[in-house]
Amino acid sequence: MFKRRKPVALDHPDLERVKLTPQMLDYDRFANRGRSQYLPYVMSFNAADYQSPSIHTDRLGFRIAHDRNGRPVSAGTLDECPADIVNLLVGASPALGYGASSDAASVASRLAHHDPDGIPWLNFAGHCFNATQELMLFMLHRHRLPKIRRIVVLGGFNTLVMARLPEFIRGELPPFYFCGDYYEKFDEIAEAHGASLPPAKLPKWPTETTAVPPVGETLSRATAETARCLATWKSLAQAHGAELSFLMQPLATWVRSPCAEEKRLFDELDQISKLGTWSQLYGDISDPTVADHYSDYLASACHTLDLPFTNLVHGLRSRPANEWLFVDRAHFTDTGNDIVAQAIQQHLN
């Protein structure tokens, strides 16, 4: 229907994503960088006070979750609706519930629905976050929280993507999404104040001048960065008397071949993507064998830290082949969110 990278309005009524997943139009507006808020030390965070049929955020940018009784709760509303004890779901957009048809269908809300103790789960996730940003967000807002029972970190993929960036972007500290824009603006300010820049300016984001590193190197680097963050998480969790777990998120290509609905969506996303197909962008880390190796790396790191670990990919591989789990290759349908939430509860139990 559409040729690859031909400009197409994302709300075009002929698109499969509009027909099958109309809620994604709310997420397109939510993820627009013109709506993102600058947050000191974390850089970019969710839009604050965002209202739509599919997703709502509070005054701080945290997504609203629902407790077991359907009542809204978030880190920014605890003053009005206090809770004696909470659980935290930490991560990037899959933990945020990106793609859910409503706040009640997000992973955090489904966790509260399945929680045998009836403890509310706060959505502590940020769109396009890496492991370091997830940790920093908690450190900036921990003073707002009551007693914490459990902290579940759901992640893995974004840190893996960032570990593939070339050295001129990476530097000595973990890079973050859209960091190229920050570097360019910082160079402009430095140059305006007399700094001497290299004769040839660095390529603009997201151009890469070097090939991605070997997969083994990428896995090692991403695991090391995740482990460093988890070591700090462990110290913070112990200080709060909270139980900490790390769970590796499922990626559609890591789980199985797509079902009929997923194939229609994935093929179309490849056609209309401005940056290239998924295979061109992430093909080297999309293979199921890469997921298995990454899981082994992360499991070993968690074992060294004496932290519980679960690879959620395994659970989803056992699901029926025709079950529609993903709205795109990284984010879940409502069914997928509920299955992931049940898998997390099984891990916790």
Q: What is the pLDDT of residues 103-146, one digit of tens each?
A: 999 999 999 999 999 999 999 999 988 999 999 999 999 999 99
CA distance linking residue 173 with residue 293, whole number of Å: 24
The answer to whether residues 141 and 151 touch, using CB atoms and an 8 Å cutoff, is no
Tokens of 296: 């082994």
Q: What is the pLDDT of residues 240-267, one digit of tens each?
A: 999 999 999 999 999 999 999 999 999 9
- Determine the 3-state secondary structure of 85 from DSSP: strand
Is it the case that residue 3 has pLDDT exceeding 60? Answer: no
pTM over 0.85: yes
Instruction: Determine the length of the chain.
Output: 349
Is it the case that residue 276 has pLDDT exceeding 90? Answer: no
Tokens of 226: 């995740």
Average confidence score pLDDT of the chain: 89
Write down the pLDDT at residue 255.
97
Detail the DSSP E strand segments found in 186-301. 243-248
Comparing 78 with 82, the larger pLDDT belongs to 78
Q: What is the pLDDT of residues 154-176, one digit of tens each?
A: 999 999 998 887 666 666 777 77
Q: What is the mean pLDDT of residues 316-320?
A: 94
Q: Please, which contacts does 261-266 make with residues 24 or more away whose CB atoms are closer than 8 Å?
A: 261/20, 261/324, 262/324, 262/325, 262/326, 264/16, 264/20, 265/16, 265/17, 265/20, 265/21, 265/326, 265/327, 265/328, 266/328, 266/329
CA distance linking residue 63 with residue 57, whole number of Å: 4
Q: How confident is the model at residue 228 (pLDDT cuts 50, 70, 90)?
A: very high
Is it the case that residue 35 has pLDDT exceeding 60? Answer: yes
The answer to whether residues 325 and 333 touch, using CB atoms and an 8 Å cutoff, is yes
Residue 334 half-sphere exposure toward CB, CA atoms < 13 A: 12
Burial of residue 186 (number of CB atoms within 10 Å: 0-12, 13-18, 19+): exposed
Percent above pLDDT 70 for the chain = 91
Domains of the chain, each with CATH number or no CATH: 23-164+215-252+287-348 (3.40.50.1110)
